[in-house]
A and B are shown apart, each in its own frame.
Chain A
C-alpha cells in the first residue's frame, strides 16, 4: 500500500515537473528565459526546447537545412567571425547528430544586411561564399506578425519599431484613421530577424521569424513614384 502511494507521489512530481517545463517553454522568447540561460547553465536547454519543436534557421548561403547539416563540421569559425553574434551553436535543434552545428539565434542578435562574413570564413562550403548583392536577396526565413500581440494593432497607438529596423521594406505601414499599422509584404522578407530583435513586446515578441527549410529568393523592393504635391516649389507651403 505504502509502495503504491510513493509511486503515485513520484508520478505527481513528474507531472508537475513536465508541466513546469511546458510553461517555461512559453517564456522562451521573453527576457526571463534569456536571464535564466545566461545565469544558470543548467537551464540553457529551456529556450532550445521551443526551438526543438520548430525548425532552426540556417545562415544565408547554406541553401537549406539538409545540405547544411551534411556538410558542416561544427568548426565554429562562423560563430566567432559573426559580427552581430547571431550565429550560435545549436543544442538539439538539428537533432542529436547536429549537436553544436551553428544556427541563427535571434535572441542574441540579428543578421546584418551589409555583411557576408560567415560564407567567406567557412572552410567546408557548408555556408557558400555569396556576394553581398546575392546575400541581400536570400530568404532564410519569413517574418510572421502576430496581430494579437502587436502594440499598434492592440492599443491603436504608434510603435513602428519593426518597420524602422527592416532593411528590405518588407514591413509597410497601412494608414487607417491617422494610425500607421504595420503590414507584411512577405515577398520582400529575407528573414534577417532585425524586426524580431527590435520588437518591444513582452514576454513574447509580436513578430517572429520562422525558418525556410530550403532557402528561397526574395523579391527586390521597387517603390512607386512620388505623388505630386499641391503647392508650388517657389512659394512657401506654410
Chain B
C-alpha cells in the first residue's frame, strides 16, 4: 500500500526487507531470500537492459532477477549459472521487456568508454524468459548455447531457447 501510493520508487534490498523462500526442484539454489515487494506483488514485470558481463557473458532477463534476492554472494560461490536458472523455478516474471536500445557491447557490467555502447534500437518483449534471452544473444553475434545459464534453463524446462520453434513477430517502426 505504501509503495503503490508513491508511484515509481527505486527500492534497495536489505536483510530486513527480504524473506526466506524455498525453490522447488532446484539443483544448487535450494533456499534464498526474496524482497517483500516481489512476494506481495500480483504482477511482476522484468525490464532488463541488455549488456555484456564479465562473469556470465551477458546480462539479460534471467540474470536481471538476481537483483530481487538478498544474498548474491551465495550465487557466486555456488555455481552461478545454475543458481540463475534455478531461481526461475521459484518465480517467473509475467512479462519481460529487454531494453536493447543502447547496448554495452564490451567491458560490462561497469563499462569503460562511451564508445563501447552501440545504438541497436531494439526492444524485445516476451512472456518466456529463456526465449527472450536466446534472442538477445543474437544481438551480440553469439549463440544461445554459448551462454551457460540459458542452456541450463532450457534443460530445466523453464522456457525454450530454440528460436526456430518459436513464433517471433518482427516489427520495424520508422
Contact = CB atoms under 8 A, between A and B. Distances in A.
Interface of A: 151, 155, 157-161, 163-164, 166-167, 169, 171-173, 178, 180, 182, 198, 200-202, 221-223, 225-226, 229-231, 233, 236-238
Given A160-B56, A163-B55, A200 B118 contact: no
A233 to B, nearest CB: 7
B106 A226 contact: yes
Contacts of A221: 112
A164 B109 contact: yes
Nearest to B137: A238
Given A155-B79, A238-B163, A238-B168, A160 B139 contact: no
B115 to A, nearest CB: 7
B80 A160 contact: yes
Contacts of A229: 140-141
A226 B118 contact: yes
B124 to A, nearest CB: 9
Given A223-B107, A237-B141, A161 B115 contact: no
B146 interface: yes
Interface of B (DSSP majority class): mixed
Given A237-B141, A238-B138, A226 B116 contact: yes
A157 B81 contact: yes
Given A223-B112, A231-B141, A238-B168, A180 B77 contact: no
Interface in B54-84: 54-57, 73-74, 76-77, 79-82
Given A169-B107, A223-B116, A233-B120, A238 B54 contact: no
Nearest to A166: B110
Contact of A236 (B77, B146, B170): B170
A157 to B, nearest CB: 5
B53 interface: yes
